[in-house]
Chains A and B, each alone.
Chain A
Amino acid sequence: SQTIHQWPATLVQPVGSPLSLECTVEGTSNPNLYWYRQAAGRGLQLLFYSVGIGQISSEVPQNLSASRPQDRQFILSSKKLLLSDSGFYLCAWSVLEFSGNTIYFGEGSWLTVV
């Protein structure tokens, strides 16, 4: 069966510090991979998605970046965090032939920028 792992689960970072959130998927090949952010009490905002190694699409301009160094690994980064980067970050995956069906979320990472 497929599983998705995301870490760290929680982190508190000072403004201006770097960020690295990592996500890996097991039990499937060539998945689509996604990063979403959810601000406190708000909806799910699509940040990045990837349909293959090295292929990253950005939905919202910001000071975050994403990379996919391996087929089942997706990394969210920032060189300098802002207070507004605080939120709940969710990695997710879907089958390559997506067509709007199911995506599966990791357990999320709570980021507090202080």
Chain B
Amino acid sequence: GQSLEQPSEVTAVEGAIVQINCTYQTSGFYGLSWYQQHDGGAPTFLSYNALDGLEETGRFSSFLSRSDSYGYLLLQELQMKDSASYFCAVTNQAGTALIFGKGTTLSVSS
């Protein structure tokens, strides 16, 4: 089956850079996704890596190494509004749904 590991909590200050790591085990791999969820809200899509390397979207970047079954989300120039939970996800074996990690709670302080 699919399983993902990511840190449960990360803290940082405004303006800093933080990296959230994710390792996964999967029996069928399509890509690694990242979602953001603010308290009480619905998760929203951040990024998706199907191939090795770095994908950049504004202040956020995501990296994938398929050979290492590893990826990370890099958040730069942190802002208070970045305080949220961040989930990595891979597809289920059938490739029809996403299986999520337990999430990393990021707390940004001033």
Note whether A and B form a binding pair.
yes
Chain A interfacial positions (CB closer than 8 Å to B):
32, 34, 36, 42-46, 49, 51, 57, 59, 90, 98-108
B79-110 near A? 1/0 per residue, CB < 8 Å: 00000000100111011111111110000000
**Distance between Cα atoms of A36 and B87 in the complex (Å):** 14
Which 10 residue pairs across A and B have the least CB separation, nearest first?
A: A100-B30, A43-B102, A105-B42, A44-B100, A100-B91, A49-B97, A100-B31, A102-B45, A43-B103, A99-B30
Which residues 1-55 of B have a CB within 8 angstroms of A? 30-31, 33, 41-45, 48, 50
Chain B interfacial positions (CB closer than 8 Å to A):
30-31, 33, 41-45, 48, 50, 87, 90-92, 94-103
Nearest residue, chain B, Cβ from A91: B42
**Distance between Cα atoms of A2 and B49 in the complex (Å):** 23
A34 neighbours in B (Cβ, 8 Å): 97-98
Chain A min CB distance to B18 (Å): 19
B99 touches A103 (CB 8 A): no
Q: Can you list 29 A-B pairs with a CB-CB distance of less than 8 A?
A: A34-B97, A34-B98, A36-B100, A43-B87, A43-B102, A43-B103, A44-B103, A45-B100, A46-B98, A49-B97, A51-B96, A57-B97, A59-B97, A98-B97, A99-B30, A99-B91, A100-B33, A100-B50, A100-B90, A100-B91, A100-B98, A101-B31, A101-B33, A102-B33, A104-B45, A105-B42, A105-B44, A107-B42, A108-B41
B90 neighbours in A (Cβ, 8 Å): 100
A98 neighbours in B (Cβ, 8 Å): 91, 95-97
A42 touches B102 (CB 8 A): yes
Cβ-defined partner of B87 (8 Å) among A44, A99, A102, A107? A44
| Apart from A42-B102, A43-B102, A44-B100, 20 more pairs, CB < 8 Å | A34-B97, A43-B103, A44-B43, A44-B87, A44-B103, A46-B97, A49-B96, A49-B97, A51-B96, A57-B97, A98-B95, A99-B30, A99-B95, A100-B33, A100-B50, A100-B91, A100-B95, A101-B33, A103-B98, A106-B42
